[in-house]
């Protein structure tokens, strides 16, 4: 598979409900090199793994994450199949057909601390890519809470960025800058679907270690990852499920391939049928 690593996007979210313990355990069982999660702050200050501003799509409840307590969210079932509409109608054939399985621990809200604990308990190196969501009610509090969580686990100041078990990401440039100021030793990714002239030339801001283009952008500009690599910057590409896109990432030299199907993507990168 070379230098490319498979990142399980919200876990093995094509096979289990996203951001649940079950989805992440399946991803680990399939050999994912890293896990990806979205991070938000509850009303009572806890970091939870939820993509949307509201819990309506992914749970049996309703409401805004920032207006709900962790206790209230813990009473909801998050092992539901409420997927976003795909980019193409053709992708509807990939809608999951399996029923959500698992006990209560695999169906409830997952906290960032729990997911980080799962990562650190592995017998092999596994990284966690944590995306802070914006805009949000509490502004920069999510980055402050993330920094504090890493400090509690003793990993907010790694000796070298390559050794960091956590990578911070955001579409918000201000969020990435804030986090870098608080935890300069933890690597960061600036996510984007459109590239500035500087980024197209292979240049990133000093506070971003990796570029995070969408696979749609990479389709339009397949040389982007190579130009970034020539300047010493690796690429994290999202979200890569189609076989042609996996091959595109392989040819383009993408370092981290974020996918909802870690098992199939890993097999394709390794050169075997997925």
Domain containing 78 equals 5-270
Which one of 9, 19, 46, 83 is the catalytic residue? 9
Quick check: 203 pLDDT over 80?
A: yes
Which one of 46, 51, 82, 83 is the catalytic residue? 51
Q: What is the pLDDT of residues 46-58, one digit of tens each?
A: 999 999 999 999 9
5 within 8 A of 32, measured Cβ to Cβ: no
**Does the active-site annotation cover 46?**
no
Residue 98: which pLDDT band, with cuts at 50, 70 and 90? very low
The pLDDT value given to residue 57: 95
Q: Give the CA radius of gyration of the chain.
A: 18
Q: What is the pLDDT of residues 221-251, one digit of tens each?
A: 999 999 999 999 999 999 999 999 999 999 9
Distance CA 241, CA 61 (A): 29
Grouping H, G, I as helix, E, B as strand and the rest as coil, residue 71 is: helix
Query: Taking the model in full, what pTM does it have?
Result: 0.91
The mean pLDDT of 180-198, rounded to a whole number, is 97
Between the alpha carbon of residue 149 and those of residues 130, 176, 191, 201, the distances in Å are 12, 16, 22, 35
Across the chain, mean pLDDT equals: 92
Residue 104: which pLDDT band, with cuts at 50, 70 and 90? confident
Tell me the CATH number at 23.
Answer: 3.20.20.190
Q: What is the pLDDT of residues 127-142, one digit of tens each?
A: 999 999 998 888 899 9
The pLDDT value given to residue 103: 76
Give burial (CB, 10 Å; 0-12/13-18/19+) of 116.
buried
The pLDDT value given to residue 217: 98
Residue 131 vs residue 85, higher pLDDT: 131
**Does the active-site annotation cover 19?**
no
**Would strands 166-170 and 210-213 be described as parallel, antiparallel, or unpaired?**
unpaired
- And the tokens for 245? 């896109």
Burial 201-217 (b: 16+ CB within 10 A, else e): ebebeeebbbbbbbbeb
225 within 8 A of 253, measured Cβ to Cβ: yes
Q: Report the number of distinct structural domains present in the chain.
A: 1
Question: In sequence order, which residues have a C-beta less than 8 Å from that of residue 46 and are 6 or more positions away?
Answer: 70, 111
């Amino acid at each position: 598979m070379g230098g490319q690593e498979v990142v399980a996007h919200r876990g093995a979210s094509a096979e289990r409900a996203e951001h649940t313990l079950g989805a992440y355990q399946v991803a680990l069982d399939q050999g994912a090199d890293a896990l990806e999660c979205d991070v938000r702050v509850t009303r009572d200050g806890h970091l939870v793994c939820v993509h949307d501003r509201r819990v309506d799509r992914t749970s049996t409840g309703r409401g805004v994450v920032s207006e709900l307590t962790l206790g209230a969210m813990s009473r909801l079932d998050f092992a539901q199949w409420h997927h976003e509409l795909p980019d193409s109608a053709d992708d509807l054939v990939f809608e999951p057909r399996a029923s959500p399985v698992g006990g209560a621990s695999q169906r409830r809200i997952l906290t960032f601390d729990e997911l980080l604990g799962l990562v650190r308990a592995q017998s092999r190196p596994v990284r966690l890519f944590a995306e802070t969501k914006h805009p949000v009610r509490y502004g920069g509090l999510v980055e402050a809470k993330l920094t504090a969580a890493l400090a509690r686990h003793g990993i907010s100041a790694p000796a070298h960025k390559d050794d960091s078990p956590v990578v911070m990401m955001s579409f918000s440039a201000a969020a990435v800058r804030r986090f870098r100021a608080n935890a300069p030793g933890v690597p960061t990714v600036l996510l984007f679907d459109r590239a500035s002239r500087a980024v197209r030339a292979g240049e990133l801001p000093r506070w971003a270690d990796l570029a995070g283009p969408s696979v749609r952008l990479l389709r339009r500009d397949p040389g982007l990852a190579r130009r970034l690599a020539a300047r010493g910057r690796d690429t994290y590409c999202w979200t890569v499920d189609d076989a042609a896109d996996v091959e595109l990432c392989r040819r383009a030299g993408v370092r981290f391939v974020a996918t909802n199907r870690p098992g199939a993507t890993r097999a394709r990168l390794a050169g075997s049928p997925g």
